[in-house]
């Protein structure tokens, strides 16, 4: 907002239509411009201002006349271009908002800002911080701002670029919206701005109605449509687990099931870390969320199609559908080299599949994993008992392998010195 004019105020008024709070950086105001000159209908006559001068800087906040607000000067500090407000929303009491511009923040001011947040938390746990923070959250991961976000459990809910640097050709995220853990569910969007008005885009935050299953489902679909990386998908999965189970989470239609929706979107990124997250999240929900076999098959086929064989096999093994186990084993049998994946080894033993992989490259490493985990104090799973696994091999006609397994065990009797004696002894063991 380089200079005040009726046209610019009207532009902002149109842009802010329906908004309860409107925040502006680079207000370029000084004592020569009164609040009455820039007043907008529907907002309090008293504006919240922290001016620098008419040549640059400054922050400005409009608040709807239906809201009760109080400026918290005690949370502000000298040379800090920021405004702290205490806000009482009709449905949420004791809310605080910090709006700031950090174009001139030095290290000492970041310390002051940290102290401000600490003091705000003494009053409420519902905090929103937004503005031009002048830190690109796309690339700067070791900045003091990241430390503050971790310390105070603040999450940035803006996922798109808010400014395009024409000199470097980079899209940057300089205008985040940071919310505390106790803030209600929100939805954000980035709005293109007339470049004659600003070189930054506007960000919009609104509370979402999540009181009904339909509303939560709609919010999920909105968030999913805007998600593109590991952090996005991880947050949505966490949200699905925090909410009451959506009806669509139990749908047998893979196009409607929310877990299939997000898993397939994650696989389509073709980012190995994000695809691995599918297995991680399914591990946490597979006991409580029973995906229909058609849904499991759809996700599995998507993984195989994208060449994520091991992740696909693990996904099937985590499910309860025995009819798909043979397909998973077939995929393993086609591999020429085994990966050192203890999660996979454990799942194969848990599903009693060692006999089915005897002729694959995974047999030896799974046996090695089994033997290495004998005599482990915390190991109490029945499927890891050596005699149990040897019985499985024997019952499936692999008597030699069963004998060899017992021979290799650390607890094998000293008499088992030859292959023949091993077979004889294991025959006796397996009868008991």
**pLDDT (tens digit, 9 = 90+) per residue, 25-49?**
999 999 999 999 999 999 999 999 9
Q: What is the mean pLDDT of the chain?
A: 88
| Per-residue pLDDT at 322 | 93
Taking only the tens place, the pLDDT of each residue in 205-245 is: 987 777 899 989 998 998 899 888 898 899 899 889 988 99
Q: How far apart are the first and last CA of the chain?
A: 85
User: 320 pLDDT exceeds 60?
Assistant: yes
- Where along the chain do its domains lie? 6-207, 209-334, 355-432
Contacts of 111 (CB under 8 A, 6+ apart): none
**Residue 293 to residue 282: CA distance in whole angstroms:** 14
Long-range contacts of the stretch 72-77 (C-beta < 8 A, 24+)? 72/96, 72/120, 74/119, 75/116, 75/119, 75/120, 76/50, 76/116, 77/109, 77/112, 77/113, 77/115, 77/116
| Per-residue pLDDT at 415 | 41
User: 360 pLDDT exceeds 50?
Assistant: yes
| Per-residue pLDDT at 345 | 97
When pLDDT is cut at 50, 70 and 90, the band that residue 269 belongs to is: very high
Cβ atoms within 10 A of the Cβ of 285, count?
A: 17
**Residue 31 to residue 233: CA distance in whole angstroms:** 47
Taking only the tens place, the pLDDT of each residue in 133-183 is: 989 999 999 999 999 999 999 999 998 999 988 788 899 999 999 999 888
Q: Which of 69-73, 95-99, 277-281 has the lowest mean pLDDT?
A: 95-99
When pLDDT is cut at 50, 70 and 90, the band that residue 278 belongs to is: very high
pTM above 0.85, yes or no: no
**What does each C-alpha distance from 430 to 32, 387, 405, 422 come to in angstroms?**
95, 8, 12, 12
Taking only the tens place, the pLDDT of each residue in 291-305 is: 999 999 999 999 999
Taking only the tens place, the pLDDT of each residue in 371-383 is: 988 865 555 688 9
| Per-residue pLDDT at 104 | 52
| Per-residue pLDDT at 324 | 96
Mean pLDDT over residues 9-37, rounded? 92
The distance of Cα 160 from the centroid of its chain, to the nearest Å, equals 15
- Residue of 195 and 187 predicted with greater confidence: 195
Which CATH architecture best describes the domain 6-207?
4-Layer Sandwich (3.60)
Mean pLDDT over residues 398-423, rounded? 66
| Per-residue pLDDT at 116 | 94
- Residue of 414 and 343 predicted with greater confidence: 343
When pLDDT is cut at 50, 70 and 90, the band that residue 95 belongs to is: confident
């Amino acid at each position: 907002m380089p200079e005040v004019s009726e046209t610019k105020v009207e532009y902002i008024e149109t842009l802010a239509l329906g908004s309860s709070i409107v925040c502006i950086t680079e207000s370029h105001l000084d004592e020569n411009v009164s609040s009455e000159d820039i007043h907008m209908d529907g907002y309090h006559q008293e504006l919240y201002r922290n001016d620098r001068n008419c040549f640059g800087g400054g922050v400005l906040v409009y608040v709807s006349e239906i809201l009760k607000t109080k400026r918290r000067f005690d949370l502000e500090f000298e040379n800090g271009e920021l405004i702290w407000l205490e806000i009482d929303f009709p449905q949420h009491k004791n809310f605080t908002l910090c709006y700031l511009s950090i174009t001139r923040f030095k290290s000492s001011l970041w310390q002051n800002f940290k102290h401000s947040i600490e003091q705000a938390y003494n009053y409420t746990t519902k905090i929103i911080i937004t503005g031009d923070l002048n830190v690109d959250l796309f690339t700067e991961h070791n900045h003091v701002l990241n430390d503050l976000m971790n310390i105070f459990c603040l999450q940035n809910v803006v996922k798109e670029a808010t400014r395009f640097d024409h000199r470097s050709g980079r899209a940057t995220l300089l205008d985040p919206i940071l919310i505390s853990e106790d803030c209600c569910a929100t939805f954000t969007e980035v709005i293109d701005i007339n470049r004659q008005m600003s070189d930054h885009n506007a960000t919009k935050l609104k509370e979402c109605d999540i009181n009904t299953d339909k509303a939560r489902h709609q919010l999920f679909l909105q968030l999913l449509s805007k998600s593109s990386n590991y952090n996005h998908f991880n947050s949505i999965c966490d949200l699905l687990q925090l909410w009451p189970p959506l009806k669509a989470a139990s749908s047998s239609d893979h196009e409607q099931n929310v877990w299939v929706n997000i898993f397939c979107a994650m696989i389509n990124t073709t980012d190995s870390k994000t695809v691995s997250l599918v297995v991680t999240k399914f591990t946490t929900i597979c006991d409580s969320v029973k995906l229909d076999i058609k849904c499991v098959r759809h996700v599995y086929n998507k993984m195989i199609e994208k060449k994520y064989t091991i992740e696909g096999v693990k996904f099937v093994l985590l499910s309860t559908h025995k009819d798909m186990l043979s397909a998973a084993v077939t995929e393993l049998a086609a591999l020429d080299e085994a990966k050192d994946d203890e999660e996979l080894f454990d799942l194969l033993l848990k599903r009693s599949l060692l006999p089915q992989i005897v002729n694959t490259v995974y047999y030896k490493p799974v046996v090695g994993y089994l033997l290495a985990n004998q005599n482990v104090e915390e190991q109490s799973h029945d499927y890891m008992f050596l005699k149990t696994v040897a019985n499985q091999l024997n019952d499936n006609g692999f008597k030699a392998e069963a004998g060899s397994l017992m021979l290799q065990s650390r607890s094998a009797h000293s008499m088992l010195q030859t292959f023949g004696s091993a077979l004889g002894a294991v025959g006796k063991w397996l009868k008991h």
